[in-house]
Amino acid sequence: MNNPEREEFPESNDPPFDLSNPHGWIQWKGTHVCIDMTCECGEVGHYDGDFLYYFKCSKCSQVYQVGAYIKLYPLEFEPKGTKMGGDDD
């Protein structure tokens, strides 16, 4: 379900890196998130709560839309609790 107060900016959902590398895409559903975000100016912000669609830097006031793409980093081992693609748990 879309948040009626949330504006969509499709260009901001463009991947910030080369998609030929391992990657994932998050379908934001407005659930709880705990995240550290680093602005271009170097300021680090933190958010712990629900419905994070936008982030405003406390230092330079730059506003960002929170994107859906994430990088995946290959490992040399399989940690306990690893999920297989297609698992819905």
Q: Is the pLDDT of residue 26 over 50?
A: yes
CA dihedral angle for residue 72, residue 50, residue 48, residue 33, rounded to 10 degrees:
-20
Joined together, the tokens standing for residue 3 give: 């948040």
Q: Is the pLDDT of residue 12 over 70?
A: no
Cα torsion angle, 35, 43, 56, 64, sign = negative
Read off the pTM: 0.59
Q: Is the pLDDT of residue 1 over 70?
A: no
CB distance 13 to 64 below 8 Å: no
User: pLDDT value at position 3?
Assistant: 44
pLDDT digits over 50-86, tens only?
A: 888 888 999 999 999 888 787 888 889 999 988 887 6
pLDDT digits over 31-55, tens only?
A: 888 889 899 999 999 999 888 888 8
* Long-range CB pairs of 27-36, under 8 A, 24+ apart, other chains included: 27/68, 28/52, 28/53, 28/66, 28/68, 30/3
